[in-house]
Structure 1
Amino acid sequence: MRAFAETWSDFEFVQQAVGQLPWGHNVLIITRLKSADERLFYVQKALSEHWSRTTLEVQIKNNLHHRQGKAVTNFNQRLPDIYSTLAQETLKDPYLFDFLGLGEDAQEREIEDALVRHVTRFLLELGSGFAYIGRQYRLEVNGDEFFIDLLFYHTRLKSYVVVELKATAFKPEHAGQLNFYLAAVDAQLKADDDNPTIGLLLCRTQNRLVAEYALSGIDKPIGVAEYELVRHLPENLQSSLPTVGQLEAELGDFELGD
């Protein structure tokens, strides 16, 4: 209780957001976070998105505060101001897909299959408001068939969201392909009261300047972000872990000893 009072010494109790969270949430925020900005971020997100204690713990562990709104986008040129800000905050960079249990060499179809199998965790990583519609969603344009990797609808943005997966680094032509899909979705699926369809390109890696240049000439609102299949350890931990060669040598010695 003393830690709580010292942490929020500049706030009125109960009337402020921190007083509206369960005690377990407050204990997590106080003990896991040192920065006042970070604490307020998670307080506000936990309230606005109705996070459980478990979800709050996952988001703190996954460092959401430093990933939220970090994707490269052209939203400020392609969307109205009030809408572009919300859309920007909806995306993050990087996305963490370590829950899929895949290695770094996984291909696009493997990743897509795993995301659908773990759609609940995928939706949690995407964030509040995403509703899953389908995978390999079929579009027909003048007799030709095209298939969207993943299609969502965002309830707060009131817009369709087309997600394309790439198991390679970002290339400018990826944005052109996604721009075509967005035009088709706007023409065939978007209702009159929906906002413009948004595209999200998830790539293994990206050069942010290349992505910015590519999106500057694109008509539709698109975001580009990286994803991680394997969580990268801090350098100080990496240096203390044995290498694959060391492990194999140890195992070999063990077998010889038997």
Structure 2
Amino acid sequence: MFEARQKRFTFDEENFYVDLVFYNRLLQCYVLIDLKVDKLAHQDLGQMQMYVNYYDRYVKQDFEKPTIGILLCKEKKDALVELTLPKDSNIYAQQYALYLPDKQLLQAKLREWIEEQDE
């Protein structure tokens, strides 16, 4: 469920803004999404870690599962993500594409995926 866009929270007399806040009813947890228009930096991962920690400590109820953080960025390096985040982190970074690939490539990928499922 969509909860907020540019959700503001105040901590230690400073304002912070989460780009998108959702609540997943099936998982019973908050999902925070931050959008980055440039290359992902370790500071972005640290910022999301702070957002997730805030929600886990001050917003979520005891019966709810830990908050999930998702960073969508133009470019990311897997090694940077692995080195910056703890192994058991609920934070995920993914690169987005501005344009879909051409129709033939999408069809080939779909056929490949179907073949893998049949194996």
Write the letter of the residue equivalent to 1:168.
D
Higher helix share: 1
Q: Is the 8 A contact 1:182 1:220 kept in 2?
A: no
Contact 1:183 1:220 in 2 (8 A): no
**Which residue, out of 177, 186, 194, partners 2:47?**
177
Structure with greater strand percent: 2
In the alignment, which residue of structure 2 is the partner of 1:55? none
> Shift of residue 220 of structure 1?
4.5
Unmatched 5+ stretches in structure 1: 1-130, 237-258
- Tell me the residue number matched to 1:255: none
Q: CA RMSD in A?
A: 2.0
Task: Deviation per CA, 1:119-145: give whole Å up to 9, x if none.
Answer: xxxxxxxxxxxx110101010113211
Q: Does structure 1 residue 216 correspond to structure 2 residue 86?
A: yes
Q: Following the alignment from structure 2 to structure 1, what is the Cα–Cα distance between the partners of residues 103 and 77?
A: 22
- What's the counterpart of residue 62 of structure 1? none
Q: How far has the Cα of 1:157 moved from its partner?
A: 1.4
**Mapped pair 1:187 → 2:57:** yes
Q: CA deviation at 1:193?
A: 0.4
What is residue 151 of structure 1 aligned with on the other side? 21
Shift, 1:232, TM fit:
2.6
Correspondence list, 1:130-141, <5 A? 131-141=1-11
1:61-210 correspondence runs (5 A): 131-210=1-80
Aligned residues: 105
Matched residue, 2:117: none
TM-score, normalization by structure 2: 0.79
Query: Please, which runs of 5 or more residues in structure 2 have no aligned partner?
Result: 106-119
The structure number with the bigger radius of gyration is: 1
The list of structure 1 runs, each at least 4 consecutive aligned residues, that deviate by more than 6 angstroms after superposition, is: none
Is the 8 Å Cα contact of residues 182 and 198 (structure 1) preserved in structure 2?
yes
Percent identical among aligned pairs is 30
Amino acid at match of 2:71: L
SS at match of 1:175: helix
Bigger RCO (CA 8 Å, 6+ sep)? 2
